[in-house]
Amino acid sequence: MNTIELEDGGTLLFDEAFLTKDLADRYFTELRDNCQWEQKLGIFGHMQPRLIASYGDAGISYRYSGMDYAALPWTAKLLEIKNKIEAVQGEYNYCLLNRYRSGSDSMGWHADDEPEMGNVIGSLSLGATRKFRIRHNETRETKTFLANHGSLIIMAGTMQQFWQHEVPKTKQVVGERINLTFRKILGDTK
């Protein structure tokens, strides 16, 4: 696990081989075939450029971009993955899954800085390798990481207050990718 200390107190932990290939393959297939995926409206009335699913503790929901994402009950596989990530860092009660079907599915620049969210986010990548970029809010310094099959990125410290992150579109032909972002929702988000 590489620890990267960022400007302004942010910390990023990066393990490009957190899961073995066989285990990552099994998780990818299980999640792709069994999660309740949906495509939701985003800002300005456009459909979000990816599919999403939300799981977590009973009664937990997450609000961003004007939408509420109520958690479905944890599956056995998601609890297994959650326990593996919590063994590294964090305590989580919610998981937002993003399914990128091709290189044209993406996530724009943003920070997960909602006041009801804790400051540790565990992000596991399964499937096709995609760029994960971070950018400092003031200096515009940008760093790029390759989020590959079975890699883990943990964002902590003040990273969400001073840095944004994205998964940009690519014209390269890439397969599907599933990203799991584990979070701690601290209170009622409605």
Q: Is the pTM of this model over 0.75?
A: yes
Check whether 113 is labelled as a binding-site residue: yes
Q: Please provide the size of the chain in residues.
A: 190
| DSSP 8-state assignment for residue 9 | G
Residue 155: count other Cβ atoms within 10 Å of its Cβ: 24
| Residue in this structure with the two tokens 């599956």, named with its chain if needed | 75
Whole-angstrom distance, CA of residue 134 vs CA of residue 56 = 26
Check whether 181 is labelled as a binding-site residue: yes
Predicted local distance difference test score (pLDDT) of residue 122: 98
Check whether 136 is labelled as a binding-site residue: no
- The pairing of strands 67-70 and 152-157 is unpaired
Predicted local distance difference test score (pLDDT) of residue 190: 42
Residue 173: partners with Cβ closer than 8 Å, 6 or more residues away: 102, 103
What does each of the 190 residues of the chain score in pLDDT, given as a tens digit?
999 999 999 999 999 999 999 999 999 999 999 999 987 655 555 666 689 999 999 999 887 666 777 899 999 999 999 999 999 999 999 999 999 999 988 888 999 988 888 999 999 999 999 999 999 999 999 999 999 999 999 999 999 999 999 999 999 999 999 999 999 998 754 4
The enclosing H or E element of 30 equals helix 21-34
Report which of 63, 4, 100, 39 is spatially closest to residue 185, judged by C-alpha positions.
Answer: 63
Q: Domain 2-183's class?
A: mainly beta
Check whether 94 is labelled as a binding-site residue: no
Check whether 101 is labelled as a binding-site residue: no
Whole-angstrom distance, CA of residue 140 vs CA of residue 17 = 28
